[in-house]
Structure 1
Amino acid sequence: MIYVDNENINDPRLNLALEEYIARHFDPKNDYLLFYINAPSIIIGKNQITIEEVNQAYIDRHDIQVVRRISGGGAVYHDFGNLNFSFITNHDVKKLHNFKKFTAPVIKVLDEMGISAELKGRNDILIGDKKISGTAQFSTGKRMISHGTLLYDTDLGEVTNALNVKQSKLESKGHKSVRSRVANICEFLDERIEISEFRKRLLEGLYAGNTAFTKYQLSTKEWEAVHQLKKEKYDTWDWNYGRAPKFNFQNSARFPIGEIDIRILVEKGRIKEAHIFGDFFGKNSVAEIESKLHGIPFEKQAIDHVLKGIDLTQYFGNIEHQAFLSLFFQND
């Protein structure tokens, strides 16, 4: 196993680009281990609809990045108190979806640190009934990534603030809130240590008894390729928001001028159809607004730009721009 040094980079988009680059371009004769700590961010699962998973208004105000990863599973919150681990190995049908296989070394090291953890459910590591890690996998067909989070000293309040956690998911877990079912690893340590020391001990534990364990640092040329992948993929709106299945969005609200009900069909992150209903009175046909929304990205900045060029009072009566815009984003 070769440990890849990410040079203490905290940019989530660069770290995910690095992880994918290793899987696709590093020597397939070797297995690799990558650790990284991200700045505050939400990491979206490959098959999720981003706008349904995040509290967009909150993350905009607090400069929290959103990045889609190439593996499945659910959205997770990262910050400087969260340690991420990634094993990059050859594809093995026996290892694919076998989360026990690649979490076992991590659980073993936690046990040696006096923390009794175990894999429960589909892909979670728990201490007692508290979740301290979630895991996911991705396969290219030749290589596979098995990665997970370790909640070491994360701001758990931000998990609730930044994510839109579906009530059905909470009910299926048998808990009333996100905060009630997660915990930080540091809470269970007899000796409080910094996350950098925790990472060091975890790495030493994984090294133990493995004489073939070595460390690798990327060349300048390799880093240039990783930055290029970040620029072309992980920095783009199309990847982080636009790459989503077709879905419908509906919201309504009552204003002094009457009720307004908007219904939108979104495909590949863009508005394919927009329909506005309600009992308001207006001079002009709302079909004119509907047509202007067609084809634009379903995100706040794009919609705001279109609406600023429209005199909404001609369609609805006396309604403020921000009030109408809020219909498109239920968390505002």
Structure 2
Amino acid sequence: MKIVMNEQTSLAFNLAAEEYMIRNFKDEIFMLWRAGPSVLLGKNQNAYSEMNMDYVREKNIQVVRRMSGGGAVYNDLGNTNFCFIMNDNTKVLTDFTRFTTPIIQVLKNLGVDAAFTGRNDMTIQGKKFSGNAQYRIKKRILHHGTLLFSSDIFDLSQSLNPSPTKFSDKAVKSVKSRVTNIKDHLKDPAMDIHTFREIINRHIMTLYPDATYYTFTDQDIEAIETLMQEKYLSWEWNFGTSPSFNLMKQQKFPGGVVEVYADIKDARIANIQFHGDFFGHLEVTDLEKLLIGKPYDKNTLELILRDLDVDAYFKNISADEILKVIFE
């Protein structure tokens, strides 16, 4: 394993670095990284419905879309992200606890009672400090997550605009009430994020005794910056096109929130897009292309979906549930 020492604080650079490594390195990887004030969108999310765009623009907060599914998360220099890239011969997303357990072990060693909860969160006393996601490329899997250490919770709460469908519990008042910083729970309140990151790296080294430290070469950086410019700083990747739709529906399932935007013309699907915080290891855009031109008819779409591995596009969401979003 390589433990990558990376001090870059550009969100776009760091996401490009992750993709560069999963595609080009053969070694397994662990990397911590930070980014300045920014919003990190899940691959399938509608950018305009997930953020307070006025606040994001006013504060010059960067917006970048990642390769993995899941929900939007806020970054600043009080947050550290962790990334595992592992060789994996399966064709599905894997158990998140495989990758969150080392982080929870670090926190328990520091006297913090952290736990993995729900689909993809780590929490302290019921409050979230980490969101996690995964994606696969060929026989490698990338798992990454946030770790709120001393982030600006006000900026976080103002930047994100969670769907009311996602949080239907009336007792939940705000983003601010649902999240917490790790630093607030440490026995040593003087610990800073740099020390915290060092402790994590040392723990990973104990788990993987053959691991070596690695810093990006000039060649690595050149390739990463090219990918950053061509993809992660492009408007097309981060915001994409927003065609007009005459059907917009949304439902929450145990596997996540699914939003459907469709343009129905002459009883056929002229355009359709799926957004949400769901996971999946196949491209949902491929499913969208398959449905375009088909009759807007439940029986027709049911036959199409029955022949597909719907779970590959929407993990833990069934064909019946997808039909429910589209037609109910």
User: Does the alignment reach a TM-score above 0.5?
Assistant: yes
| Equivalence for 2:3 | 3
Secondary structure, aligned partner of 1:169: coil
Q: What do residues 158-182 of structure 1 show as CA deviations (whole Å, max 9, x unaligned)?
A: 1221111122222259522111111
Q: What do residues 212-268 of structure 1 show as CA deviations (whole Å, max 9, x unaligned)?
A: 121111211111000000011001000000067975699xxxxxxxxxxxxx989xx
Compare 68-77 and 122-131 and name the one that shifted more: 122-131
| Equivalence for 1:42 | 39
| Equivalence for 1:239 | 237
**Which of the residues 225, 228, 231 maps onto 1:230?**
228
Identity %: 40
Distance 2:128 2:170 in 1: 11
Residue 66 (structure 2) pairs with residue 69 (structure 1): yes
Distance 1:245 1:225 in 2: 33
Q: Which has the larger radius of gyration?
A: 1
Compare 180-189 and 213-222 and name the one that shifted more: 213-222
Q: Is the 8 A contact 1:95 1:101 kept in 2?
A: no
What RMSD, in angstroms, separates the aligned Cα atoms of the two structures?
2.4
Distance 2:245 2:25 in 1: 37
* Structure 1: runs of 5 or more not aligned: 251-263, 267-271, 274-332
Secondary structure, aligned partner of 2:151: coil
Distance 1:244 1:211 in 2: 49
Q: What do residues 45-75 of structure 1 show as CA deviations (whole Å, max 9, x unaligned)?
A: 0001111111111111111000000000000
Letter in structure 1 aligned against 2:195: E
Change (3 A) 1:120 1:265: closer
Secondary structure, aligned partner of 1:149: strand
| Equivalence for 1:208 | 206
**Which of the residues 29, 33, 37 maps onto 2:30?**
33
Change (3 A) 1:94 1:36: same
Q: What do residues 178-210 of structure 1 show as CA deviations (whole Å, max 9, x unaligned)?
A: 111110000000112111111111111221253
Residue 53 (structure 2) pairs with residue 52 (structure 1): no
Distance 2:247 2:13 in 1: 31
| Equivalence for 1:325 | none
**TM-score (norm: length of structure 1):** 0.71
| Equivalence for 1:15 | 14
| Equivalence for 2:146 | 149
Q: Is the 8 A contact 2:90 2:139 kept in 1?
A: no
Secondary structure, aligned partner of 2:144: strand
**Which of the residues 130, 134, 139 maps onto 2:136?**
139
Change (3 A) 1:94 1:188: farther
Change (3 A) 1:249 1:242: farther
Distance 1:122 1:172 in 2: 17
**Which of the residues 166, 172, 176 maps onto 1:175?**
172
| Equivalence for 1:328 | none
Secondary structure, aligned partner of 1:136: strand
Q: Is the 8 A contact 2:129 2:147 kept in 1?
A: yes
Distance 2:156 2:59 in 1: 13
Letter in structure 2 aligned against 1:127: I
Secondary structure, aligned partner of 1:39: coil
Aligned residues: 252
Greater RCO structure (CA 8 Å; 6+ sep): 2
Compare 214-223 and 63-72 and name the one that shifted more: 214-223
Q: What do residues 125-156 of structure 1 show as CA deviations (whole Å, max 9, x unaligned)?
A: 11121111110000013211101000101111
Residue 84 (structure 2) pairs with residue 87 (structure 1): yes
Letter in structure 1 aligned against 2:70: G
Distance 1:135 1:180 in 2: 19
Secondary structure, aligned partner of 1:138: strand
| Equivalence for 2:275 | none
Distance 1:245 1:147 in 2: 31
Distance 2:133 2:242 in 1: 19
State the Cα distance separating 1:97 from its structure 2 match.
3.5
Letter in structure 2 aligned against 1:180: S
